[in-house]
Amino acid sequence: MTLKSCDTPPQSHRAKLALLCRPFLSFATMNSLYNAALKQVNAIQRDLKKFETGEDTSVGFQGQISAVFNSLQRSIDDYDTLAKREMITAKRETAMARVSKFRDDYQQYKAEFDRLKKREENKVLQTQERSELFGRRISRNYSPIPEHPYSPQPTPLQAYQARERDFASSTDNFLDQIIAQGQNILGDLGDQNGMLKNAQRKMLDTANTLGLSQSVIRYIERRSAQDKWIFLAGSVITLGFIWAIIHYLT
């Protein structure tokens, strides 16, 4: 008997494997997306509470919340797509009900986030207006001859240092936002890695149960290893990008 190459399984085996394992892969993917969406909703609830109580109102923290909202939107859309493809009516109806609940939560929390951002913007604007009003009062009462002639006056160096501090503060806020987005990207990659591992385990169990050839099983294992390296490469690139931003902007 002539053995076929292990690099590429026969076309009939690949088609058979894809047909048999599709329900398991879809189920594993939907579960992963559902758990990821739940985790993102909980994170948004926790962050909105911090924002509302004033525990953290920085620009970087607001960027982190926005990044989680974007991730949640992608998770809902992907889950909705898979739910519409579900063959079993009861499971499809359950999944669509979950999609509706996720979308309602998203709209509710997004409206709350916009309200809190507007409130914070109004606070900042009021502070700036008070500072400008105070500055105008000082300028009207300003005399070219200081009340204390020998008191130290601001120098160009001090003004430059003040501008440097303002720039450093804005840079820190920008870096906080970038780091928050990077953390969300790494979290998404981790969820995808777990989804691939679950799908691999279910496909291998199915293959062993059905008695498929060892060449097909080795092909699955080799593709899973490739996916793992892709995940690791994506993680390294993301971390390198964050390090480069921190290194060159600080």
- Domain co-membership, 108 together with 200: no
Q: Which of 139, 163, 187 is the last residue of a domain?
A: 139
Among 186, 238, 188, 180, smallest CA distance to 64 is for: 180
Per-residue pLDDT of the chain (250 residues; tens, 9 = 90+): 443 444 444 455 555 544 444 554 455 578 888 999 999 999 999 999 999 998 888 888 888 899 999 999 999 999 999 999 888 899 899 999 999 999 999 999 999 999 999 998 888 788 777 777 766 665 555 555 555 555 555 556 666 666 666 666 666 666 666 666 666 666 666 666 666 677 667 766 665 665 555 666 677 677 777 777 887 887 788 888 777 777 776 6
The token pair at 157 is: 């160096």
Q: What is the CATH number of the domain that holds 106?
A: 1.20.58
Q: What is the pLDDT of residues 52-111, one digit of tens each?
A: 998 888 888 888 899 999 999 999 999 999 999 888 899 899 999 999 999 999 999 999
220 is a domain residue: yes
CA distance 118 to 112: 10
- Domain co-membership, 135 together with 32: yes
32 is a domain residue: yes
- Domain co-membership, 131 together with 189: no
Indicate whether this model's pTM tops 0.75.
no
- Domain co-membership, 43 together with 124: yes
Which contacts (CB < 8 Å, 24+ apart) does range 75-80 have? 75/33, 75/36, 75/37, 75/40, 75/102, 76/37, 76/102, 76/103, 76/106, 78/33, 79/30, 79/33, 79/34, 79/37
160 is a domain residue: no
CA distance 216 to 13: 7
- Domain of 36, in residue numbers: 22-139
The interaxial angle of helices 59-85 and 11-53, nearest 10 deg, is 140
- Domain co-membership, 30 together with 110: yes
Q: Tell me, what's the pLDDT at 105?
A: 96
Q: Tell me, what's the pLDDT at 2?
A: 41
- Domain co-membership, 32 together with 133: yes
191 is a domain residue: yes
230 is a domain residue: yes
Q: Which of 139, 169, 187 is the last residue of a domain?
A: 139
Number of structural domains (the chain) is 2
CA distance 69 to 109: 9
- Domain co-membership, 248 together with 183: yes
Q: Tell me, what's the pLDDT at 9?
A: 47
Q: Tell me, what's the pLDDT at 41?
A: 94
55 is a domain residue: yes
Beta-carbon contacts of 72 under 8 Å, excluding residues fewer than 6 positions away, are: 37, 40, 41, 44, 102, 106
8 is a domain residue: no
216 is a domain residue: yes
- Domain co-membership, 195 together with 117: no
